[in-house]
Amino acid sequence: MNLADRIEGLRVRIQRACNSAGREPASVELLPVSKKQPLPLIREAAALGFTRFGENYVQEGSDKAMALPKLAFVLLGPLQRNKARPALEHFSEIQSLDRPELVLRLRHLAEELDLVRPIWIQVDLWDEATKLGGCSESDLPALLSALDGDARLPLRGLMAIPPPEDGSAFAHLASLRDRLQQELGQSLRLSMGMSSDLDAAIAAGSDQIRIGTAFFGERTYPAR
C-alpha cells in the first residue's frame, strides 16, 4: 500500500470514529510521526498536504528541520537539559515537558534566544515515567508553578502515552484536562492516541492523534 492509500485509510477511520463520537473530523489533528523515516517520504507526505511532523529525537528532528525548513517538527520524545537549546531552535513545539527544572532551562534559553515556543506537558498517570517520561498528577502543581504563565512558553495542552492494557486511560486523561482547564481558566488540547488505539482516543475527546506506522508504513532500520 502506498502513502496516499494509507492516509486515505486513516481519514476514513478518523471519520468513522468521529461519527460514532458525535464529533467533527476537523476537530482531530492527524500528526504524522516521522521518526526514522527518510526525507523523500516526508517530502511526499508534505506534497499530500501535511506540514507538521512529530519526531522523538532532538538530533534527528533538528537535522530534518534544517533540511526541510518549510515544514514544522514537533518534539515528542524525552528532552534532556543539555539538548534544550537545539530543541528550542529547531522544533516548532515541545510536547514532552515533564519537570520544573526543564521549565527553568527552557525559560532562560527562550529569553536568551528571543523566541516563543508553545509547549505541552507530558503527563504520566500510570507510573510509566521511568520508561517513557512524563509528569505525575501529584507533581503537576510544581510544574505549572514553574511555568507561571510565561508568554515565551505558552501552554497548549497535555500529551500522554498510556499503557495499552488500561481501558480507562483515555477517560482519566480527559478528566484531568477538564479539571486543569477549570483551574487555569484556559483551553487545553489533548494529544493521545496512536495507530492501534486512535478510535478510543477520539471517543474520549483527543484533539490530536500521533500516527507513525499506519501513516508511513513499517520503518526500515539499517543493518548493523
* Predicted confidence (pLDDT) per residue in 152-167, tens digit: 999 999 999 888 777 7
Residues 6 or more apart whose CB falls under 8 angstroms from that of 175 comprise none
Contact at 8 Å (CB) between 183 and 169? no
For residue 177, the model assigns a pLDDT of 96
Confidence check: pLDDT of 222 > 70: no
Q: Report residue 75's pLDDT band, with 50, 70 and 90 as the boundaries.
A: very high
Confidence check: pLDDT of 62 > 90: yes
For residue 128, the model assigns a pLDDT of 63
Alpha helices in 57-164 (DSSP H): 58-67, 84-90, 100-113, 129-132, 140-147
Supply the DSSP string of 169-221, one letter for each residue: HHHHHHHHHHHHHHHHTS--EEE---TTTHHHHHHHT-SEEEESHHHH-S--P
Task: Report the pLDDT averaged over residues 176-188.
Answer: 96
Task: Report the pLDDT averaged over residues 47-63.
Answer: 98
Q: 26 versus 224: which is more confidently predicted?
A: 26
For residue 224, the model assigns a pLDDT of 45
CA atoms within 13 A on the CB side of 91: 31
Residue 59 C-alpha cell reads as 538530533
Task: Report the pLDDT averaged over residues 74-92.
Answer: 97
Domains of the chain: 3-213 (3.20.20.10)
Helices 58-67 and 39-47 pack at an angle, to 10 degrees, of 60
For 69, phi then psi, to 5°, come to -65, -15
Candidates 91, 97, 161, 155; CA nearest to 125 is 161
For residue 214, the model assigns a pLDDT of 94
- For 144, which DSSP code? H
pTM of the model: 0.93
